[in-house]
Amino acid sequence: MPELPEVETIKNDLCKVACGKKILRVQIYNAKVIRQMRPSDFKKLLEGKFIRSIFRRGKLLILELSSGKFLTVHFKMTGQLVLRKSRPKRPATSICRVSFALNAGLTLDFNDQRLFGELRIVGDWRELKFIQTLGPEPFDLTFSSFKDMLLKRKTEIKPLLLDQKFIAGIGNIYAAEILFRAKINPRARAQNIKAAKQRLLYQQMQKVLTSAIKHGGSSVDDYVRVSGKNGDYAQYHQVYNRQGQPCFSCKTLIKRLAQGGRGTYFCPRCQA
DNA sequence: AATGGGACCTGCGCGC
DNA sequence: TGCGCGCAGGTCCCAT
């Protein structure tokens, strides 16, 4: 499920092939993913426009159009953007929801198994409610302000890392991987984390996210890159989805617990 | 502010 | 074999 490193990878991949391209035609196969707008208006606002630039905020992908408006893409759990170097009549898969025909014979498919994904066209992406309440980007954060943020919160650290209002872009996989590497128990209260662990948490957050971007993200479940290929970071996962298997560091069995209705994976010994 | 639930969806794996 | 159930997770929304 695309988190910050996956969306960053999609952004980087897509920049290389789609920046400067013209959107010739938009095919809508399932209008559910188009939010707050009639499908006919969605088509009208895109067809004939150029993609001027592509960037990311949190888990949101943002395409700047030559009209001055923005196309925003939220992948939620199962969204994908996949490029095909052909112009076939039919969608490549049954889960293709919207297909963008670009010049140079390219087709960009928005696939989404579960229809949670969201495509919007907005005048100013900064005015989206989701953006206005979003916390800081992990890479923009200094240790000093991160520490202050932790000290203000009594809640458990793992659900806090998932809270996009607290910090933008971290999801269930990276929350688990970051906490393992920082040797912090997922149930620890943010406020009570000792100074040395605060520092380690900050460092590992940067390190894990940077490394995951370098490896093109984690392909678990549905995530693929724009090329259709998998990201390579899942091989470096230490705890995510490894309940019942031995910790790579101490051989203790990895545990799973539920926090806020979400699965949390951790080593009970390394993260005591 | 914290916490818990349901809603949105569909495929999968489980137990019977 | 086949059926029903719970689970998976990102975000919003409502209630306490």
CA–C1' span, A191 to C12, in Å? Answer: 27
pLDDT beyond 80 at A88: no
CA A39 to chain centre: 25
pLDDT of res. A260? 84
Share of chain A above pLDDT 90, in %: 86
pLDDT confidence band for A21 (50 / 70 / 90): very high
Is A59 annotated in the active site?
yes
* Active-site residue (options: A76, A197, A262, A269): A262
How high is the mean pLDDT of chain A?
93
- A262 CB contact with strand B at below 7 Å: no
Which nucleotide has its C1' atom closest to residue A113's CA? Answer: B10
Return positions of chain B under 7 A from a protein CB.
Answer: 1-6, 8-11
User: How does pLDDT run across A1-13, given as a tens digit for each residue?
Assistant: 799 999 999 999 9
Confidence band, pLDDT 50/70/90 cuts, at residue A121: very high
Determine which one of A2, A5, A138, A186 is catalytic: A2
Whether residue A87 lies in the annotated active site:
no
Q: Is the pTM of this model over 0.75?
A: yes
Whether A262 is catalytic: yes
Å: A143 CA to B4 C1': 32
Q: What's the CA A95/C1' B13 distance, rounded, in angstroms? A: 21
Interatomic CA–C1' length for residue A63 and nucleotide C4, angstroms: 43
Closest C-alpha among A89, A69, A66, A92 to residue A81: A92
Neighbours of A128 (CB within 10 A): 18
| Torsion-angle region of A31 (φ positive above 0: left; ψ -120 to 50: alpha; else: beta) | alpha
pLDDT at A168 over 90: yes
Write down the catalytic residue from A11, A56, A59, A181. Answer: A59
Q: Is residue A136 annotated as part of the catalytic site, yes or no? A: no
Q: Is the CB of A155 under 7 A from strand B?
A: yes
Using the structure, give the distance in angstroms from the CA atom of A113 to the C1' atom of C1, rounded to a whole number. 27
pLDDT classification of A219: cutoffs 50, 70, 90: confident
Does residue A53 approach strand B to less than 7 Å at its CB? no
CA distances from A51 to A24, A28, A54, A203 (A): 11, 19, 8, 35
Confidence label for A86 from pLDDT (cuts 50, 70 and 90) = confident
Tell me the pLDDT tens digit for each residue of A28-51.
999 999 998 999 999 999 999 999
Per-residue model confidence as pLDDT tens digits over A188-216: 999 999 999 999 999 999 999 999 999 99
CB A98 within 8 A of CB A59: no
pLDDT band at A225 (very low <50, low <70, confident <90, very high): very high
The answer, yes or no, to whether residue A130 has pLDDT greater than 90, is no
Nucleotides of C under 7 A from a protein CB: 7-13
Verify if strand B has an atom below 7 Å from the CB of A113: yes
Q: Where are the beta strands (DSSP E) in chain A?
A: 23-28, 51-57, 60-65, 70-74, 79-84, 96-102, 107-112, 118-122, 255-259, 262-266
Kindly tell me if the per-residue pLDDT of A93 is higher than 90. Answer: no
pLDDT tens digits, residue range A58-80?
999 999 999 999 999 999 999 99
Q: Is the C-beta atom of A93 closer than 7 angstroms to strand B?
A: no
